[in-house]
Each structure stands twice: as structure tokens, then as C-alpha cells.
Structure 1
């Protein structure tokens, strides 16, 4: 059984301190009465967010919202505690190792089951990994397993991955969403599973009900792995906006708020926390802070007809320099981070074309403050005098995409995945060289840091992924709700196993 200590520790990959404000003393009076116990007897444990769950098939996960389902309903062979990114931890596997430089072998825990009662065997693992690579969904974590040549199953408990090269990063790829294990009797090997089909995993929770804006989970009693759940039934509710979440908090209709609150709402809550002797809001919510946990980037669409213009990419990167607070595609605090993009000051923007270029900018309207940031980016680009920008909410075909991103696992290679997957022609050899060195380097070694620095330099040269900002992520915990130190997935995805209620 995992440790259930409360979060008061230093975070290595995201940076600095992860702090839950609760039980601290102060001289100011409490602004409100003691709230009622949460959750109420009339409702299950409830999580609210504005993130949408876009797919229930782990092979197709390419967004932050869908990882809430994937991380809690499905198992992977290994996982990573993001507070200790250098160490892999077994989940469905009992143990994994490299018997040779090009073979990675895992032994499953005994008597594993899926939530429908089917036994899990090495054949299911083979099916799942091969299926994810075959479907190869853009933006998913499947490309992190690119070194895989074939999967062998010597017996029902053993999975052997034969690699095309020595790759120290492959083991970490097995902790990512695309490596989730599905029931080979239920999932189609050639198609993405629709939300109307059974959702069958072996993780700490099972799916009870999945509607458009609500996911209900129940504790999976036969789960065997790293992250056994402490709460029973859980409802994840996607709310339309920040105001609706704030209202639900005041009415004690939720126990956890995961993303979704606007900057103004967070400032209002912070003001309440600052004058409370217990450092809770008027409704009794404490604040858990993930410093550096929110990362915003601007990505070029690989299919954009404007992407090949070096002058245009340079001009866009320069136009955003004054507002940029993040200096690399690999965020500060992630092992291997190296400053590579200029910050602040006024860049010398050169417009070398005669006619204004028409661009489209896509963004997720459910992400906090996304419209405000998209509008600010448009203003900066249009102020150059060489571009016009149309905002396109929820448009994957837009030339540029504003993303509020989390990497699938806490490694520099995972953060660099968009650069590695779709490099510009002029940077292909440098990126291939840096990636090869990263694969061969030991975790935490100077060689890995050097390879990541090389990759970050190439990313800054080609400018197809532009770092914008890095700020804190806030999680709000209702009365009597506690979070444990290992309550997050490898990429800081929300792990529902990390919560408990103090009665």
C-alpha cells in the first residue's frame, strides 16, 4: 500500500514546493462559519473542472482532460511519481528490467483482472501496445515508444519488448497514456473505441457511467497496483465556465476543483484565504499549489501552408518575446531544462513580405483565460504590420494552436515530443542526433543533460513550438478533503486515488 502522507514536500520536476494550505495559524479573524462536512450524504465525492473528456480510449488521448479518465481507469506496466521522476514504480508489472541493451522485459503481478472480470495476461499488454502504435493518433504519446521493434510473450505473465536500439527512455514511455492496457476481448485492434462502447480497464477505478459532461467512477475492488483508491464513488463533472464552478463551491456541491477557475476567481479566493486563520475560503476550501505546473505554449500546425516560412516563424517568435516568461520548450524545474529563447525586451522584427499574411489561431475555450491570452497573442502579431489573425476556438486545423500543456511523463524528451515528431527539414539531423544521445544516456547523467540542451537549442532555432509562460496550477480542496503525496499521474495528471475524506 502506498504512503498517504499529506502534501508538504519539495517537487523536483515541476519546481519548488507543493503546498496545501490548511491548519496554519494567523491573527486575522475567520471570515465565515465552519462549513458542513463534505461530501454530503446525498451525493458522491465530486470533482469539478472545465476540462472536457474528449475520448475514453487511451490510445487516442491527446488532451489534458481525457487523461483524468485514462490515469484512473486504466493501468500501465509502470508509473512515475512526479515528485521522484528519476524512479520508475511498478503498477501492473511486478518488476521490469533490461536483460540486454535492446530488450526490456516485464513480469506482471499475479492474478490481475479487468473491471469486467476478464483476466489480464501478457497477451493483453502486447495487444494494447501494438494497437496504440498501429492507430498512431497525432498528439498522443505513442511516438515515445518509437524504438519498439516487436513484443514477445514467453508466457502469460511475461512481456518482452525487443527494441531497435538501446533506449533508456523507452521504460518511461510505458508509463504514458498510450501504453495503457486494454482488454483484447473488448477493444477493436484497428479502430478507436467510441464512448458508447464498454470502457474496460484494470485501474483503481471502474467506469459506472459516462455522459457528455459527467463521468462517474466506482472503486475497483480487484485492483492490484501502485495507487489503490481510498474514496468510493467519484463524479467528475465538466462545468461550462469559471462562474459555475465558483457558485458550486459556495453551495458545497463539489469537493475538489481541478483547473477551470479564472484568474479573477482565484484572486477572490486568495483574498479569502489570506484573512482566514485556517487559510480556507468562506466556503471552507483550502488551496493546493503546484508551482510551475501550468505551461502554455504556441504550436505550429504541421499541416499549415505557412509553417515552412522561416521569416514568418522568426517574426512570430520575436513578436511574443516581450511577453514571454518561459525560456524553453522544456519548462523550468524539469531535469535538463536549458534556457534557449530570449525573454523580455523589444525584438527587432523584420517583415520581409509585401502583403499581410492571413493566419488562424486555435485555442481551447474551456481552458482558464484562454480567450484573453489568444486575444493578446493576436494583438502582438497584428501589431507587427505583417499579419492578420482569426481566432478559431476548438479548431484543430488552425495554423497556430495555443495549448495549456502537460507532458505525458516528467522527462525532457516528453516535453520535446512535438519538436521531435514534426521537425523542420533544416533541423532534422540535429534533432535526430540529440534524440539518439538522449536515448543512450543514463537517467540524470551529464550526457542526458547535454543531449537535452542540444535538442532545446534546435527547438529554439526552428521555432515550431514557442514557449509562452509557466505559472502555478491551483487545486482547491473542500472541507475535510485531503490529498496524499502521490496523488498525481506521471505528467501531473489528476489522480483520484490521491484523495480521502476525514470524517
Structure 2
């Protein structure tokens, strides 16, 4: 069985990225330190004290820290095809029903401290994530596992509850990472910023006021896996804002900056600095509004439908993101097999008149007064402008009285999971490039949003049916049915999907492969070469 994901735009984007100079070269040189700048914030709080525990964290930024040091059985391939073995020597389904998955470990695997890794270590690591079952919902990725068997020191057998063609992808995610029991207790989260594993790098964190300031990744001499590491060390510096990060790359204090702002992208794309390259890559990032469907203000489906009818995605993108994003009318982004423009098919062009009729038919008094929440520091500074545009659109209809409220991610994510926001803005960077990963995390049991919305047909019939398909094309009709249901019930409201950009000094190589379509940061691809 080989479930290949058809992400043509993503594959093309990665194989032939748009580069203003030579930063896409793949001829790196080992030895020199690469310095990466980011504005991603990593904070340990009382409510979320374990930001880097694989059994707890479920956001792309933290996962990207883990992926450098915590090894998984499988890994996403460089060419964006099916997953390939990483800590494993081989993996595959051993039955026709795709319910028995067997992995054989590489010989003599070790953690960075020299401790041996056996099949029992893998079993205990994955069972730990399932046992802890953190409120982030990350363990749901592994919810098709029934039992894990270890016939020998190198063989791991996964017995699944039901057929799951996406299971190899799930083994590439940090929640399935291999950790040392002496560092990670079986029933307790590991608080703080330590990361230990068997991946390509060891990890050291510099922390101030419970916030990460610098992360140092040093090449692990005991690493055995499928990756070629093109540097000896990567230092990641966390900046307070994008302007400070931009000034640092201008001065040469950092070699790369990830997640530049729309303004920085426009400036660099114009070729204003011959020493800095801007690399554009296709991505599968989406943004959406989430709803607590039990909240009184938006419990009536008509209120959510009216918002879907009013919001003008085209205007939003034009005013905030320009050519760096495109409209999205489904949870599944364009470019993935299974995508359907369900929201456009149902609502068409924005219409205040149609929204007014929806509310009138449901006897909802207007204007509907509500607050939309967004995070100020997780998706970039443009988030505030985005929500100002959304607020203006809804209020201009006369049907809504919307206020907006921004909150730092550390507090925002905790409050959202507790269901205290009626309406909130979120982004999704896929765990793996398959339509299932844009459906199940939002709509299945124990979803990561902790949403009260539960559709039995989706959970009990459609999601399991789609996972039985060996080819995503065979699951497309099921995915369309799911997306049509979402457009009708509006438990979430998709807004846009974006591209990815990395800016780098022109002597840095491997930049074109530094982030894949699932937003996985691949620091091992980076190196120093000749400037262009």
C-alpha cells in the first residue's frame, strides 16, 4: 500500500522555488555555524509548562524545535512523496487490510548520550504520548493504534483499530518521537525547555523569564538516520519583533530569517539588497475562524452562516497579504487531492442581503454582538490588521457589532482550549500533506480545538471510510461530503491559504529545502557556500 499525496503545486514549488539570487543552491559546506532568526515565541507558563514535550505540544513552531533532535520512525521525504524510514530501517503494512504496520529499527541506534534504543524504547515512547493524552489533543493523531507489539529488539508491530492509510505519515510527527525513559517519565510531562533524543542535533536552550531567547543545535555524532547534515551547528535567535530581525539580517548578524512580514517580503522581492535572497515556496498553511458552537452568541447556526455569507476573502487578502495568499473556501487547501470549494458553492459572492435573510429566518435579533479573538505573536504582526478588516466587513453590514481582542499565544492557546472564546482566529500548518490532516484534527473526537461540534456521520463513517482508501483520489468523494457538511454547519470558517518565504544571506545554501510544504523546518539542509 502506498498512499501518495498529490500536492503538485507544493512539489513544483519545492523543486523549483522562486529565488531572487542563489540562495536555493543545494551545494552546502559543512563546518560553519548558521544563524537563524525568528519571531516565534516559546514560553513556559503555569497552564502550559511543557512547551517542548512531544506528548504535549501541538503547534508547528514547537514541533520544528523537536524535529531537529527527537527522531521518529519515519520522516517526510525531501521530494514530498510518501514518508521514508528514518530511525527505522524499513516500515510497511504486512496485511491486506492495512491494520498491521511493522517497522524494523536501524542497527545500533543510540540516543545522543549513548543510551541504546530498542523496540521497547519506541513502544514506551508512543504509549507514553497516548497515556498522558494531553489536553492539546496531540495524542489523537495516534488514536487508530490498538496495541503495540515488540517481537524482538528491533521489530515494532502496530496493530490498528481500523484501516488507516495515513498511519505512515503519523509516524513522522513528534508525538510519535522516540524519547529516553530516563529523561521523560512515563506518566508525567517534562516541564521546561529541555529536548533530548537521537536526531541529527543535540539541543541547548537559553531562557530568560521563562521564555526562550536562543536555541543552539549542535550536530549529533551518534546520529544514525536518513538525513545528511550540512552544518556543524545552527543557532536560532528569537527576536522581539520583525523589524529587529530584519535589521539583523541586513547587518549580517543572522544568516536567515523565517516568517518575514508581508512588508519585508515586498521589499526583498523587489531586489533592494543584492546580498539577501528571498525564496518563495508553496505551502499548505491555512487560516480560519474557529467557533465554540455551544457559546450562546453563535450557537445558532444561522449566525455562523451569516458570517460566512458576509466575509469578503478577496478584499481581506488584497488589503493585508496581497499576492502572498489566496482565498480558501474549504478546510482542505487547493493543491491537495480532496479539495473542494464547498463554501463558495454554498454562499457564492459576499452578500449582506442573503445574510440578513438567514438571520431573519432563524429569528436572530440584530445586530449580533460578539468579540473575535486573535493571537498577537504567533502568526505574525499582520494578524491585527487582518482582524481589523474582518471587523469592518461584519460591522459594515449592520448585522453585527464586533469588537476584536488580541492576546499573546501563551495565554491565547490555553484559553481557547478551555472553550472561553466564542469566536477566534487560528492557523493550521499540516502535520503531514494529506487531506485527512485538514479534516480529522478539526472534526474527529478529541480534536485539537476541543470543539464541542460533533457530527456522528463524519466521525463514525466518513473519516474511517476515507482512511481505508489506498489512494487519496479514491477518498475524494468522501472528503467532498465532509467539506459540504462543514460549509452547512460552519463549525469553522476557512479564510485563506498562504505561501512560504525565507530570506537568507546569499552565501547560505540549501535554503530552498529549509522548509517543506507542511512548514517543517529542516535545519540540516543549510550550509555555507559562495556568495552570488
- TM-superposition CA deviations, 1:162-186 (whole Å, max 9, x none): 1111221222211122111111221
Query: What residue in structure 2 maps to residue 327 of structure 1?
Result: 329
Query: What residue in structure 2 maps to residue 371 of structure 1?
Result: 384
Q: Is the contact made by 2:74 and 2:171 (CA closer than 8 Å) also made in structure 1?
A: yes
Query: What residue in structure 1 maps to residue 491 of structure 2?
Result: 464
Query: What residue in structure 2 maps to residue 410 of structure 1?
Result: 433
Query: What residue in structure 2 maps to residue 252 of structure 1?
Result: 252
CA RMSD of aligned residues (A): 2.7
Normalization by structure 1: what TM-score? 0.86
Q: Is the contact made by 1:14 and 1:332 (CA closer than 8 Å) also made in structure 2?
A: no
2:122 aligned with 1:122, yes or no? no
Listed as ranges, the matches of 1:26-105 within 5 Å are: 44-54=33-43, 55-81=51-77, 83-85=79-81, 87-100=82-95, 101=97, 102-105=99-102
2:244 aligned with 1:236, yes or no? no
Q: Is the contact made by 2:293 and 2:452 (CA closer than 8 Å) also made in structure 1?
A: no
Q: Is the contact made by 2:229 and 2:524 (CA closer than 8 Å) also made in structure 1?
A: yes
Give the Å deviation of 1:497: 0.9
After TM superposition, the structure 1 stretch with the greater mean CA deviation from structure 2, 263-272 or 409-418, is 263-272
After TM superposition, the structure 1 stretch with the greater mean CA deviation from structure 2, 116-125 or 337-346, is 337-346
Give the Å deviation of 1:366: 4.2
Give the Å deviation of 1:223: 0.9
Listed as ranges, the matches of 1:75-224 within 5 Å are: 75-81=71-77, 83-85=79-81, 87-100=82-95, 101=97, 102-195=99-192, 198-211=194-207, 212-224=212-224
2:442 aligned with 1:442, yes or no? no
Q: Is the contact made by 1:11 and 1:83 (CA closer than 8 Å) also made in structure 2?
A: no
Q: CA–CA distance in 2 between the matches of 1:175 and 1:306?
A: 40
Query: What residue in structure 1 maps to residue 287 of structure 2?
Result: 296
Give the Å deviation of 1:107: 0.7
Q: CA–CA distance in 2 between the matches of 1:409 and 1:499?
A: 22
SS of aligned partner of 1:183: coil
Q: CA–CA distance in 1 between the matches of 2:191 and 2:378?
A: 22
Q: Size of the alignment, in residue pairs?
A: 467
Give the Å deviation of 1:126: 1.1
Q: CA–CA distance in 2 between the matches of 1:489 and 1:127?
A: 29
Query: What residue in structure 2 maps to residue 262 of structure 1?
Result: 261
1:293–1:74: structure 2 CA closer, same or farther, 3 Å change rule? same
Q: CA–CA distance in 2 between the matches of 1:247 and 1:158?
A: 51
Normalization by structure 2: what TM-score? 0.81
Higher helix fraction: Structure 1 or Structure 2?
2
SS of aligned partner of 2:280: strand
Give the Å deviation of 1:306: 4.4
Give the Å deviation of 1:292: 4.1
Give the Å deviation of 1:22: 5.1
1:426–1:53: structure 2 CA closer, same or farther, 3 Å change rule? closer
Q: CA–CA distance in 2 between the matches of 1:461 and 1:474?
A: 34
Give the Å deviation of 1:360: 3.9
Q: Is the contact made by 2:75 and 2:86 (CA closer than 8 Å) also made in structure 1?
A: yes
Q: CA–CA distance in 2 between the matches of 1:306 and 1:190?
A: 39
- TM-superposition CA deviations, 1:34-78 (whole Å, max 9, x none): xxxx99x9x931111111235211222222211221111111111
Give the Å deviation of 1:133: 1.6
1:74–1:310: structure 2 CA closer, same or farther, 3 Å change rule? same
SS of aligned partner of 1:175: coil
Query: What residue in structure 1 maps to residue 47 of structure 2?
Result: none
Unaligned runs of 5+ in 1: 1-9, 25-37, 274-280
SS of aligned partner of 2:342: coil
2:225 aligned with 1:225, yes or no? yes
2:343 aligned with 1:349, yes or no? no
1:94–1:307: structure 2 CA closer, same or farther, 3 Å change rule? farther
Query: What residue in structure 1 maps to residue 3 of structure 2?
Result: none
Give the Å deviation of 1:489: 5.7
Give the Å deviation of 1:207: 0.6
Unaligned runs of 5+ in 2: 1-5, 23-27, 44-50, 317-326, 416-420
Q: CA–CA distance in 2 between the matches of 1:82 and 1:332?
A: 21
SS of aligned partner of 2:384: helix
SS of aligned partner of 1:159: strand
Give the Å deviation of 1:367: 2.3
Q: Is the contact made by 1:322 and 1:344 (CA closer than 8 Å) also made in structure 2?
A: no
Q: Is the contact made by 2:64 and 2:520 (CA closer than 8 Å) also made in structure 1?
A: yes
Q: CA–CA distance in 2 between the matches of 1:379 and 1:373?
A: 10
Q: CA–CA distance in 2 between the matches of 1:451 and 1:236?
A: 42
